[in-house]
């Protein structure tokens, strides 16, 4: 077995959240030291915080929830591509990135990854994400899951209609967002992505691991 790399950010309120969205809260509601039989914690969760997946219903009204995402897509061979530009990723960038034909799970390591050196950094609006033509390239290439190293596959200043998300989700491609790819090497690996099974939810936090030689 190769080395296991945890690509999951800690589910910690110190992480940046998308502007206007709440952060999770973790609260102890029973404590042994206070005389209770056990320590018990209450979690108020945010679906699109930290490492998470998007479901089709996130941007397509009436579409499927996160519980329908296919485990055969969430787990299996993956390719890590390194892209070093500080701008939106285009179809031409993906074409030039040396991504093997037939890749179904693609993880994009960009300059965003360095931001997680300080997990408590303020939200960074200029993160690297996918332009709409890059989303169309992924559809045409047969990719089924695309992972990115910041909180969205789509640029912060996306036009109305959120075309990158809509193109991906309408084609059945799973966006996997908020990855920590600092320890991942460019090249092949095996991805294990297990989001919470929340019926009807538009996304869910996920534990994500990559196995590489």
129-135-138 Cα angle (round to 5): 115
Q: Is 48 a catalytic residue?
A: no
Catalytic residue among 48, 52, 58, 165: 58
Three-state secondary structure string covering 133-178: HHHHHHHHHCCCEEEECCCCCCCCCCCCCCHHHHHHHHCCCEEEEC
Q: How many C-beta atoms surround the C-beta of residue 142 within 10 A?
A: 12
- State the number of CA atoms in the 13 A half-sphere of 80 facing the CB: 24
Residues with active-site annotation:
58
């Amino acid at each position: 077995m190769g080395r296991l790399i945890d690509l999951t950010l800690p589910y910690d309120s110190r992480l940046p959240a998308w502007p206007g969205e709440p952060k999770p809260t973790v609260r102890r509601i029973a404590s042994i030291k206070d005389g209770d039989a056990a320590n018990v914690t209450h979690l108020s969760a945010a679906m699109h915080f930290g490492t998470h997946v998007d479901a089709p219903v996130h941007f397509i009204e009436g579409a499927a929830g996160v519980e329908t995402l296919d485990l055969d897509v969430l787990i299996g061979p993956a390719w890590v591509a390194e892209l070093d530009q500080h701008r939106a990723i285009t179809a031409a960038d993906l074409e030039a990135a040396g991504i093997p034909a037939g890749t179904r799970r693609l993880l994009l390591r960009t300059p965003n990854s360095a931001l997680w050196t300080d997990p408590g950094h303020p939200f960074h609006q200029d993160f690297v994400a996918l332009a709409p033509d890059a989303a169309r390239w992924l559809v045409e290439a047969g990719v089924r899951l695309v992972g990115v190293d910041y909180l969205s596959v789509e640029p912060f200043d996306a036009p109305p209609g959120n075309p990158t998300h809509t193109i991906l989700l309408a084609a059945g491609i799973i966006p996997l967002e908020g990855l920590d790819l600092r320890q991942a090497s460019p090249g092949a690996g095996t991805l294990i992505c297990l989001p919470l099974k929340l019926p009807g939810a538009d996304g869910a936090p996920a534990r994500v691991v990559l196995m590489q030689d």
